[in-house]
Amino acid sequence: MNSMYFTEEHELFRKSFQEFLKKEVVPHIEKWEKTGTIERFIWGKFGEMGYFGLGYPEKYGGLEVDLFYTVIFLEELQKINSGGFAAAMWAHSYLAMTHLNVEGSEEIKKNYLEPSIAGEKIGCLCITEPFGGSDVAAMRTTAVKKGDKYVVNGSKTFITNGVYSDYLVVAAKTSPDKGGKGMSIFLMDRDTPGITATKLDKLGWRASDTAEIAFDNVEIPASNLMGDEDKGFNYIMQHFAFERLIMGVNAHARAEFALDYAIDYMGERMAFGKTIDKFQALRHNVAEMASEVEMCKEFNYSIVKRMIDGVYVVKEASMSKLLSTKMADKVIYDCLQLLGGYGYMEEYPMARLLRDSRLGPIGGGTSEILREIIAKMVIDKKEYKLAAK
């Protein structure tokens, strides 16, 4: 236990969550990986245990505990070897629900945030577009106000929970002439006429449903606008820091899981009359990997602490995602090598880990985009500030 950041209560939560995952989730993982569909019952079980409400207000059924409980939640989800299942859970809880909590009206919080915390409704966040990618400001989806309604047209892609969710949090241009500054955030019910979703076939994250979504003259009430009109870009950028930190934490956790598995394997695998953890070349490779994992983990924990203290950690979170996801890919690649031929077999965890990890440097802002964002802050001295609702 790292007592600088985690208390005894944190560790008790970790153990109870590990037991929950082992009992309620792990027995179903292989089926969900094959079908690409996570059965609805598990969302309810997460809700019953309060796992979707860790950082949310008690008023809506949340627990309002500190951010290190979320770190534990993320870390343990990575250690059951289904990046897709983990993504479905945290995309609901920390992407869609974050916008509900920060920008949603009281009515929206009551009707959507509260049942989301309970696991009764599933959400998805729709920002990325087929022609936009990481360039959020280039968004083409529009929302035109007509009387007491908005009419939405456009498309989104690579949306986690995009097929089976109950509601969508959607970014759209309300003032296209203003470019990135003319964007707003809306809530949509899944069954609203004009919304269609196409399930995408992915290299990894097989358990999660990822969709391309089309909006064809979708009419929604004006009250479904979240926050202020034309302030959506600021809201998105504000929450991106948290999403990048989440992906950094995910990366160090899955790398740690891979390394622990490889070390256990090395202690059992015999070659030339001794276990392979006695060969210096392999031992030194493990030593270097362990050092890289620990460096990223400690850095990520320090960013979480700063976020708790109210610091806007956009630079540090971008650095976390950039370096942690790169590290995780390398460590998992090298851990697969330590297993030899068995690492290439589907019955061992490394093949899936390798596929799932590869999304890290792509999703939530590519490494190339993050390098430019960091360069602007480090070289050009650009400063980013929190958006006020």
Contact predicate 81/204, CB 8 Å: no
197 alpha carbon, distance to own chain's centre: 20
Q: What's the rounded Cα separation, in Å, for the pair 323 and 361?
A: 9
Name residue 186's beta-bridge partners: 170, 225
Contact predicate 48/119, CB 8 Å: yes
From the list 33, 114, 212, 243, the catalytic residue is: 243
Question: Which tokens belong to 201?
Answer: 């076939």
**Closest to 70 (Cα-Cα) out of 104, 94, 35:** 94
Q: In this structure, what DSSP letter does residue 113 have?
A: I
Does residue 243 carry a catalytic annotation? yes
Q: In terms of DSSP H, where are the helices of the chain? A: 8-20, 26-35, 41-48, 67-78, 83-91, 97-103, 106-108, 114-117, 232-266, 280-308, 314-338, 350-357, 367-378
Catalytic residues: 243
